[in-house]
Chains A and B, each alone.
Chain A
């Protein structure tokens, strides 16, 4: 059965790529989804928002783990760096800690998003390079352990940087974070269109959809570029990659840096969306979850990664509604939270058993000719026309 599925999937992707109608239908569905979910309550749209944030994270981690083959178990640290950078730049927290900031910004520190988000990305990227540099010689399990430690260090720092100077406010976290303001309209308020109102969560949904779309385009372009191929070569065989002249150190660092930038941007989004961050959100379990999304979906293959992230982030929430009735069936002896974990575990184990290379792995044969590799006329007309 697994074999037939493997054969249908590339065809499915091909049909999707070649049919404009299917693409438009898909886009319309994606755009209408929150409006439909809204009818069942904003909580459902929130679930979709978080699912999209996880897609963003998984896409970033896929560059490090999927393309370059560097198992990073501390990826959530970059998410944390991004979230805290944004939080500090757009909340009263720094003004409490440093009175001179109040003197410069009497109205409080409200960094506009077009400065705060790039700064979050940049700082996360720097941390990516910082982590990458000492781990370059490590591979596989060793790399995983070191990155895991790095992720925990960041969290412990955030937890304890409330003394001697209160920067992160410790375990209490940072609140009152500004929401994003796009074209003068804060996304935290509902948008009045005259005939209807769009709630904040739905506005964020559209913002995240735009980000995810951009990220997929960027990842796809990187995958089919000189840099992407070099990453994959390192993943497949580092010695052979060196033998054709690939500078493995620089390229690994590039992968770490770009992956971390993705994490930083999603962190900034997370902070503005939640308007609150605390170290709790960046536990080891989150890192493991993001790795699981990439692996369960189909490592190194974009459709697989997106599906994996959507499923694994939405599944626990949806299971909330299943676990409740199940708990009643057992007369309340089973805790709903535990039951939920159990069901997720069952789902993941079944994926491992039935589809060991992921739900939607990359096809064995490259069917795609959309790049016009064999048709010079097609390609030329694009370049010069």
Chain B
């Protein structure tokens, strides 16, 4: 439980909405530097779990540790401070701000200038603005949309908006990057590019938690998979192991047992 090589370690997470038990006693370990997939049929509790570890919902019970340090995901902004950055299933960008500004907002926690520094335009304020701008440009370049830095986020294409959201999340220097259905609504070519980007993020020693409906993407990308169904964990392991698990086949891939590939 105190293993610092685990990026995220949660034990016994439960959550119910009124009479509906959305999550029952879920345990989950995510190894540092890995891509961990969270899959399950619609209504399995993936998004509920996701919203709990990112502080949008509060859990009824559960223990949470991030790199060996416990954190309580009660407030979304505290979760970001603890080191979890997320993207949203329905893209949530700051639409009227430029792409660059979106990423600069992501640096909020790592910068410290206050109101007075800004009003007096102090040298340290200018220095911080300058370095924030450079970092934001670098991140935009990293996700491949540097040329769009000055455009308002709302004018970007769908795929580019997804990339921008990832860049904004990366700007917080997270120890865990949580992506909520990043491939939703993407065409084949865009999905391939996304896969390349996520692999690049892992190569740079970031840990990724991925919720995804696209089975092919998940199977090809994830080191470990956790499968939820009706709020309980029914399987865990590598893509091959999970694909062979009869419970998973029954719940998720269909009773006839025809897996992908």
A residues apposed to B, CB below 8 Å: 218, 221-222, 224-230, 232-233, 235-237, 239-248, 254, 258, 300, 362, 364-367, 371-374, 376, 379, 382-383
Stretch in B40-48, B149-157, B194-202, B229-237 with 4+ CB within 8 Å of A: B149-157
Residues 124-165 of B at the A interface (beta carbon under 8 Å): 125-130, 132-134, 137, 150-152, 155
Determine whether the beta carbon of A244 is less than 8 Å from that of B85. yes
Which residues of chain A have C-beta atoms less than 8 A from B132's C-beta?
A: 226
Could you write out 22 A-B pairs with CB less than 8 Å apart?
A221-B121, A227-B113, A232-B96, A232-B105, A233-B105, A237-B94, A239-B76, A239-B88, A240-B94, A243-B77, A244-B80, A244-B85, A244-B105, A244-B168, A245-B81, A245-B108, A247-B77, A366-B151, A366-B152, A373-B100, A383-B126, A383-B127
**Complex-state Cα separation, A229 to B111, whole angstroms:** 12
A61 to B217, CA, bound (A): 48
**Apart from A243-B77, A365-B98: 10 A-B pairs, beta carbons within 8 A:** A221-B119, A222-B115, A225-B118, A226-B113, A233-B105, A239-B92, A246-B105, A371-B129, A374-B137, A379-B126
Set of chain A residues within 8 Å of B101, measured between Cβ atoms? 229, 232
Any A CB within 8 A of the CB of B172:
yes
Find A246's partner among B56, B108, B155 (CB 8 Å cutoff).
B108
Closest residue on chain A to residue B83 by CB atoms: A245
CB distance from A245 to the nearest CB of B (A): 3
Contact A366 B118 (CB under 8 A): no
Q: Which residues in A have their C-beta under 8 angstroms from that of B86?
A: 243
Kindly state the separation between the CA atoms of A376 and B127 in the bound complex, as whole angstroms.
11
Q: A127 vs B247: C-alpha distance in the bound complex, in angstroms?
A: 61
Q: How far apart sit A230 and B111, CA to CA, in the bound complex (Å)?
A: 12
Q: Is there contact, CB below 8 Å, between A245 and B80?
A: yes
CA distance A195 to B56 in the complex (A): 70
Task: For residue A201, give the distance in angstroms from its CB to the closest CB of chain B.
Answer: 30
Q: Which residues of A contact B81 (CB under 8 A)?
A: 245
Residues of B within 8 A of A367 (CB): 150
A248 contact from B77, B88, B96, B106, Cβ within 8 A: B77
B76, A242: Cβ atoms closer than 8 Å:
yes
Q: Which residues of the partner chain B approach A366 to less than 8 Å between Cβ atoms? A: 98, 100, 150-152
B109 in the interface (beta carbon within 8 A)? yes
| Majority secondary structure, A binding face | helix
Nearest CB in chain B to that of A363: its residue: B152
B112 → A minimal CB distance (Å): 8
Q: Name A241's contact: one of B55, B105, B112, B114 (CB within 8 Å).
A: B105
Name the residue of chain A whose CB is nearest to the CB of B172.
A244
B233-261 residues at the A interface, CB under 8 angstroms: none
In the complex formed, the residue of B with least CB distance to A242 is B76
B38 part of interface (Cβ distance < 8 Å): no
The reply on B104 being an interface residue by CB < 8 A is: yes
B95 within 8 A of A: yes
The answer to whether A242 touches B119, judged by C-beta atoms less than 8 angstroms apart, is no
A residues in contact with B111, CB < 8 Å: 226
Check B105–A227 contact: CB distance below 8 A. Answer: no
> Would you give the shortest CB distance from A301 to chain B, in whole angstroms?
10
Check A227–B114 contact: CB distance below 8 A: yes
CA distance A227 to B132 in the complex (A): 13
**When the two chains form their complex, are residues B92 and A240 in contact, meaning their CB atoms are under 8 A apart?**
yes
Whether A382 lies near B97 (C-beta < 8 A) is: no
Contact check, B151 vs A236: say whether CB atoms are below 8 A apart: no
- Chain B residues contacting A225 (CB-CB under 8 Å) are 113, 117-118, 125, 129
The answer to whether B128 and A226 touch across the interface, beta carbons within 8 angstroms, is yes
Contacts of B35 in A (CB 8 A): none
Bound: A258/B118 CA distance, A = 13
B169 within 8 A of A: yes
Nearest 7 interchain pairs by C-beta: A245-B80, A225-B118, A242-B76, A236-B94, A245-B109, A240-B92, A366-B150
Q: Roughly how many angstroms separate A264 CA and B169 CA in the complex, as a whole number?
A: 39
B220 within 8 A of A: no
Instruction: Using A365-B152, A383-B127 as known contacts, say yes or no to A230 and B114 having CB atoms under 8 A apart.
Output: no
Whole-angstrom CA separation of A240 from B108 in the bound complex: 12
Chain B 163-178, CB-CB to A under 8 Å as 1, else 0, gives 0000011011000000
Answer yes or no: B54 CB below 8 A from chain A CBs: yes
Shortest distance in angstroms between A373's beta carbon and chain B's nearest beta carbon?
5
Q: Is the CB of B93 closer than 8 A to any CB of chain A?
A: yes
Q: Report yes or no: B77 in contact with A245, Cβ–Cβ below 8 A.
A: yes
Closest CB in chain A relative to B92 CB, distance in Å: 4
Residues of B contacting A372 in the complex (Cβ-Cβ under 8 angstroms): 130
Q: Is the CB of B172 within 8 A of A222?
A: no
* Residues of A with C-beta under 8 A to B188: none
Chain A contacts of B113 at CB under 8 A?
225-227
Q: In this complex, which of B54, B95, B150 has the most chain A Cβ atoms within 10 angstroms of its Cβ?
A: B150
